Amino acid sequence: MRLGGRLQLSALLASSTFSTIASAFVVTTTGKAPVLSFTKLTRRRFLSQRNMSSSSSSSSNKPKVALLQFAVSSNKQENHQRASEYLKRASTSGCQLAVLPEIWNGPYATAAFEEYAEVLPCVGAEDSMDASPSAQLLQQHAIDYQMWIVGGSISEKVNDGTSTKLYNTCLVFDPKGKVVAKHRKVHLFDIDVPGGITFRESDTLSPGESLTVFDGGEDFGMVGIGICYDIRFPEYSQLLTQKYNCNLLIFPGAFNLTTGPAHWELLQRARAVDNQCYVLTASPARVVDDDGENESNNKRKYPHYTAWGHSTVVAPWGDVVATTDESESLVVTELDLTKVSSMRQSIPTFQQKRSDLYVLEEPSSSS
């Protein structure tokens, strides 16, 4: 489902995050053979497990989710094969929902978006998707594994008869293979950090114009979708949860080595606490820069982008319940959605808003 509208806000209150401890159920690729283990992660202050059950204690009212953090190359066919492998492993792990990373079918480079762009189906589509090999792959696996698939994002080509536009787009498929949501990245990644990184998605991409939610049924309830840079804008997330009562906010993303260490986890925990819901992110795995050469020692066609990795699940209290490092990983965890209602009842900020002082709303012209 896509919902039109820009956001208006007359004032915002600052939010805070909490210090936590965390561990993760991670499937990590080492060489050719995947290794499955329940791994305690000693990342900075995270030293032990908190508020998380292992897979052996999984119950029917705690759906499993998987974050697919795999390496992305310039070879679309190889990327499709990698995505297929990870979706199969997510299914084998008993997951009801899988999330792919941002721009998973080709390089994350403004100059590459047009080459790797596809004509994507509309919401409600459930027929064959021959015009989009990436969408067809996701649809087929959703059907085969009876699994919700949040398809990360790929570049989308749209021709209106007079011009062609490109978007950074996420498709969501239900377990029957139907497209139930289509999110075009609303906030384009245009930054210039001195001594860090300069990137301008707007050089080739157009921004989306809609909020995006879908109904994940009995397992998940309402789910909101954003892409990467969208997470920096609290108004977007707040409108999704306040208007559509989302239990989950999902952001496929590809933060970098400048913004990743400083803000990746911080923003996820902030959005989780702000909205008293789960926040899920899926990043590509980190691929080390090879000085401009590809796997065949030929000069690389597009600039290299180094992703931060660290795909993560954050609970409503702001605690990290599952995460990984920068390497290829399948992050698997259960979601206890009773924590969403418990948090909203015990700290009822949704009912304590001061509408006499500030208002968050869609413009009246929105559909």
Nearest to 110 by CA among 16, 189, 45: 189
Burial class (CB in 10 A: 0-12, 13-18, 19+), 215: middle
d(CA 303, CA 292): 8
Provide CB contacts within 8 A for 297, sequence distance 6+: none
- What pLDDT digit, counting tens, does each position of 305-338 carry? 999 999 999 999 999 999 999 999 999 999 999 9
Report, as residue numbers or ranges, the catalytic residues: 102, 185, 228
Identify the pLDDT of residue 364.
66
- What pLDDT digit, counting tens, does each position of 210-242 carry? 999 999 999 999 999 999 999 999 999 999 999
* Whether pLDDT at 178 is above 50: yes
Residue 259 structure tokens:
């913004």
Residue entry with tokens 């559509």: 244
Identify the pLDDT of residue 30.
39
The whole-number average pLDDT for the span 269-273 is 98
Whether residue 153 contacts residue 104, with contact meaning beta carbons closer than 8 Å, is answered with yes
Identify the pLDDT of residue 365.
55
The whole-number average pLDDT for the span 31-54 is 35
Whether residue 74 contacts residue 302, with contact meaning beta carbons closer than 8 Å, is answered with yes
The whole-number average pLDDT for the span 39-53 is 33
- What pLDDT digit, counting tens, does each position of 48-60 carry? 233 333 333 344 5
Amino acid, res. 271: R
